[in-house]
Amino acid sequence: MIVQFFVPNRLSEDATERASDWLIIIGAFAFILGVGSLIKTHGERLRRRHPDWPYSLLALAAFAGMSIVGVGWGIDPGKPAFWLFTNVYVPLDATMFSLLAFFVASAAYRTFRARTPEATVLLVAAVLIMLARVPLGAFIYEGLPDLAEQVLISPVTGAKRGIILGITLGVVATSLRIILGVERAYLGGE
Amino acid sequence: MEQRDAAQDGWLERLQRIDRRYIFILMAVAVIVPIVLGVRLPVGKPTRPVRLVYDKIDSLPAGSVVLMAYDFGPSSAPELAPMAVAILRHCFSRDIDVVAVSFYTAGPPLAQGVLDQVAKEFGKKYGENYVNLGYLPGMVPLLIRMSTDIPGTYKQDYTRTRMSELPLMSRVRSYDDIALVVDLASSDTPAIWITVVNARYQQEVAAGVTAVMAVDYYPYIQSRQLVGMLGGLKGAAEYESLVGRPDEATKRMPAQSFAHGLIILLVLLGNTAYVIARIRARRRA
Amino acid sequence: MRSESLGKERIIPEIPWDRVGVWIAALLTLCIYSFLYRDNVLYKIAEHLFVGVSLGWALCVTYHQAILPKMVYPVFMPARVDLARPDFVVAVPVLIGLLWFARFIPGVGWLTRVPIAAVVGYGSGVGATAAIHGNLLPQLRATLLPVVARSDSGAFDLWLSIGNAVLIVGVICVLAYFYFSREHRGVLGGMSRVGIYFLMLAFGAGFGYTVMARISLLIGRIDFLWLDWLRPLFY
């Protein structure tokens, strides 16, 4: 793929198209492997009569039910699987993550302390953004949203760019190590 | 004197360690009250990253095609679905056609819901003005494959219709036929669009991201690798105000204000109790 | 809905699936929120239901969107995917993909490395060039900003100059902080301390945005509970 990037030739592009198509198909199988892993984990819990085995049975039953309905009848709007998606999957997924709002509030009160100068800077930046990104901020001080934007544009962008550059150098180094065969942990610990 | 100090310290200590369920109740009240009472607040001036996206779409001629990637699931829909609706309203009002893709398995049905809802408002037809290509695994090989043959890559759309039966797909072969990519994302997919598609094929990319990730993309806006960005519910509300249709995001901003105000008060209260406790401890020492 | 039985019409009441769905969604939402009081059976039921349903949905989507149109139809029903004739070359990636399951067969488990190597190799090749051309070079280029900046009219712009200078200093100092090959003393130590403050600003901004995101999700759910579930009962 590295060589292909520098060779804008019809043959090179055809080879890339074919390779990309094949990777899409290979990727689909990787997902199926993940499904097998779930079935194995919960199946083990059932077999060993783990204290939470009824929940594992529920998880497997829900998986089987959704799979049969979806594979058998399709997933288009109007189909039973779409109804299950809208009325079971969506509320569960959305609500699970919305719990974090409560925990963020609790954490902000109990642990967010200006113990050091660095922590104080973090706290001030967080409060500035929280105020500026809602109408309340402009109500308190008209120029607050613009001030927050200036903080984001220069110092925060500079810091984030430093992080991006550091990560990018790491990605390049790791990619080269894998390509050159120095890094082989992904093959299973050899 | 010592007993009084101990009592006050105990009070401060209890204040700092209050049962978190009381905080949960306060948070619930802060969100429920403005929603139930239907409180309305002005959104404020749109910020520059949002304006850049709006201006870009506004500059596209009628008949252009925008590719919208719905890279999110139900857990991020409260932030990103309003963005999708506002951007679709803008596109359809300017007779810009839309092709939707998704790299999340939960993305296609969310995309279909939003597309159908807005298309109905503008009398747009599925297959002619908008298409939902659905989901395929393997984002990077897919993005590279789409550079030469989008219909050949997907073969069928989300409703299992062949590409030959979708008139819009006869004029969308590759990135050359796409004026703008808008990635609505709850993870780092915009970075992949930028580093793979924008860098290799010079395709312009805009992003709508959850607030969690908004800060991460400012460097890309400054470097002009991103045309612009909508960040979180505020970004969605700003875009709604630009499009002239205040909707879900705008209605939710008052609740957002109240909740933020509560969190700031809690932070200040917690830090005040902490500072007082420290001063007392130092005095006694 | 009517059905005919022995010549007589029997009226079967239409089930309002939309309302049933809303009630199910609302009850499941409340089951999850019950966790805020304490961990309980209702929450565990909802949690495991979510695990099963989400994976089942993902399997359905993969089947209908990837397996059928990319693997099955090209070989057995090419007309359904606008192919003039069967594409048997698809068998090659399918066989490679099937090797993922070789790990379950004793003696040939090592064959799993073939698809892993394909995926990792492809990703590394694309990743290396994407990282350099998509991240490193453009981001470095965008950091080369004039410290004496001029506005569009050509006049000296103080705020733009200060902004550019702050950005450049921020990038350099943050990179200095992440340089661990030398002890942070002297000039490097000073730059590193400045870098820490820039990072705290960035993390603070990130935390503020994170709070905003989480609250938006909660607002979305409360919106649903009030507007879609409770309000129709009263109005």
Comparing CB atoms, the residue among B75, B137, B145 nearest residue A28 is: B137
Whether B16 contacts B270, CB under 8 Å = yes
Question: How many C-beta atoms surround the C-beta of residue A7 within 10 A?
Answer: 12
Whether B54 contacts B245, CB under 8 Å = no
CB contact under 8 Å between A104 and B254, yes or no, is no
What's C2's DSSP letter? E
The verdict on residue A94 lying in a domain is no
**Of residues A153 and B49, which shows the higher confidence score?**
B49
Amino acid at B1: M
Q: Are residues B92 and B14 in the same domain?
A: no
Q: Are residues B258 and B223 in the same domain?
A: no
The structure's pTM equals: 0.90
Q: Are residues B21 and B75 in the same domain?
A: no
Q: What is the mean pLDDT of chain C?
A: 89
Cα distance between residue A85 and residue A75, in whole Å? 9
pLDDT at B4: 57
Cα distance between residue B192 and residue B108, in whole Å? 19
Mean pLDDT, residues A78-98: 94
Q: Which helix (H) or strand (E) holds A122?
A: helix A117-132
Residue-wise pLDDT for B188-221, tens only, equals 999 999 999 999 999 999 999 999 999 999 999 9
Report ipTM (2 d.p.): 0.89
Residue-wise pLDDT for B17-28, tens only, equals 788 899 999 999
Residue-wise pLDDT for B270-281, tens only, equals 888 888 888 888
Whether B256 contacts C212, CB under 8 Å = yes
Cα distance between residue A153 and residue A156, in whole Å? 6
Residue-wise pLDDT for B129-184, tens only, equals 999 999 998 899 999 999 999 999 998 999 999 999 999 999 999 999 999 999 99
Q: Are residues B161 and B231 in the same domain?
A: yes
Instruction: Report the CATH number that the domain containing residue B97 is assigned in CATH.
Output: 3.40.50
Mean pLDDT, residues B4-10: 59
What's B135's DSSP letter? E
Cα distance between residue A87 and residue B136, in whole Å? 24
Report the SS3 class of residue A8: coil
Amino acid at A42: H
CB contact under 8 Å between C70 and A28, yes or no, is yes
Q: Are residues B193 and B70 in the same domain?
A: yes
Sign of the dihedral defined by the CA atoms of residues B163, B166, B171, B175, in that order:
negative
Range of the domain at B11: 2-41+253-284
Burial tier of B282 (Cβ tally within 10 Å: 0-12, 13-18, 19+): exposed
Distance from CA of C26 to the nearest CA of A (A): 8
Q: Are residues B22 and B151 in the same domain?
A: no
Q: Are residues B99 and B234 in the same domain?
A: yes
Q: Are strands C2-5 and C8-11 parallel, antiparallel or unpaired?
A: antiparallel
Chain C residues with CB-CB distance to B156 below 8 A: 65, 68-69, 73, 80-81
DSSP assignment of C92-144: HHHHHHHGGGGGGSTT-GGGGHHHHHHHHHHHHHHHHHHIIIIIIHHHHHHH-
Chain A residues with CB-CB distance to C142 below 8 A: 161
The verdict on residue A164 lying in a domain is yes
Q: Are residues B148 and B194 in the same domain?
A: yes
The angle that helices C186-223 and C158-177 make with each other, rounded to 10 degrees, is: 100
Residue-wise pLDDT for C26-45, tens only, equals 999 999 999 999 999 999 99
Q: Are residues B238 and B261 in the same domain?
A: no
Least confident piece of the model among B158-167, C7-16, C162-171, C188-197: C7-16
Chain A residues with CB-CB distance to C220 below 8 A: 94, 98
Q: How many domains does chain B have?
A: 2
